[in-house]
Copies of this chain bind each other. A is one copy, B any other.
Amino acid sequence: MIRVAVDGMGGDFAPQFVVQGAVQAANALDNLNITITGPEEAIKNELCHHKVAAGKISICPASEVIEMSDSPVQAVKKKKNSSLSVAIQLLKQKKVDAVITAGNTGAAVVASTLNLGLLPGIKRPGIAVMIPSLRGITIAIDVGANIDPSPEHLFQYAIMAETYAHYILRKKKPTIGLLNIGEEESKGTDVLQETYKLLRDSGLNFIGNIEGRDFFSGKCDCVVCDGFSGNVVLKMTESILELMVTVIAKEIGKRPVARLGAFLCRSAFEAIRKETNYEEAGGAPLLGVDGVVIISHGISSAKAIKNAIKVARDSVAQRLNDHIIEGLNDHLRTDAGSSPASIPAPKANL
């Protein structure tokens, strides 16, 4: 039985969609037990609208709420009884195996890092997102936890993303690309040039630098990037579908014949909407912390929450974190002669 805590008050539509998603997951997925954290009355009021097998969902009371606008560090320090902090505490105390939150991303990173700590050998956590491409899903890491990474951080992100792609996305020998402004090894900042060397010499399936245009073409399975560029890319990607819909609707709306045409195309448009929908990806794993934490989008629907719970369950079932530690140790052993000296120390703490 895999036990998952869901932050009942995280997200723009909490607790409604969070509870709905938990109910959908409980009814659809085997081998799963869900605890929802939050104000007992509010969660109960939402739960009572749904049917769910007895004992599959329980509530763990938490009186406070971390708002989207709260400063992450302040909020985590002050709101010890928030729905997020209580969920993370359950994970720390091994009362659950994973946490899902659609709340304040910064607070989720801070609470997880401070309370759970990092996996042995990992220097910084990274947020990984699943970006739809022409050849399936591309994982991008990091997209906002670490805006000034060292080469070692980026190298460890590659190992974590590769492990995730292999064990969760079932890719055989996942390819790794480094986000840069040109293909040549000499491109980009000193940090990126150093990271290129670490990846090239690592035995990972490193295909070299990739550029902004390669995200959507699906040139590689995993894109390693600094949290600043990654965040910009993520937010652009999220806005693209909206832009496509707006532009197409505007131009078609002007033309009666095209309006008929669009009606005939609707099943094709629906297929595209589904392929590019963030709901299917089911949230962004916070990799590197000592525990399974999945961060969902603030605007998560019930379906997105359900899929995030599924990803959390799979990550626990596949022993993702054990494999990350193994992967890291493999590379440390391979590099034993040169490693401690050639990998520079991290530049800043979280």
Contact = CB atoms under 8 A, between A and B. Distances in A.
Interface stretch (A155-163, A197-205, A212-220, A333-341): A212-220
B262 A228 contact: no
Q: What DSSP secondary structure best describes chain A's contact surface?
A: helix
Contact of A216 (B148, B236, B262): B236
Interface string A176-195: 00010100000011000000
A78 interface: no
A134 interface: yes
Interface stretch (A11-19, A22-30, A266-274): A266-274
B251 A272 contact: yes
Contacts of A233: 212, 232-233, 236
Interface in A240-267: 240, 243-244, 246-248, 251-252, 254-255, 257-258, 260-267
A322 interface: no
Interface residues of A, number: 53
Contacts of A216: 236, 239-240, 243
A264 B227 CA distance: 43
A252 B232 contact: no
A239 B271 CA distance: 21
B144 A181 contact: yes
A134 B246 CA distance: 8
B264 A268 contact: no
Nearest to A215: B236
B255 A181 contact: no
A73 to B, nearest CB: 11
B212 A234 contact: yes
A42 interface: no
A211 interface: yes
A270 B156 CA distance: 45
B255 A267 contact: yes
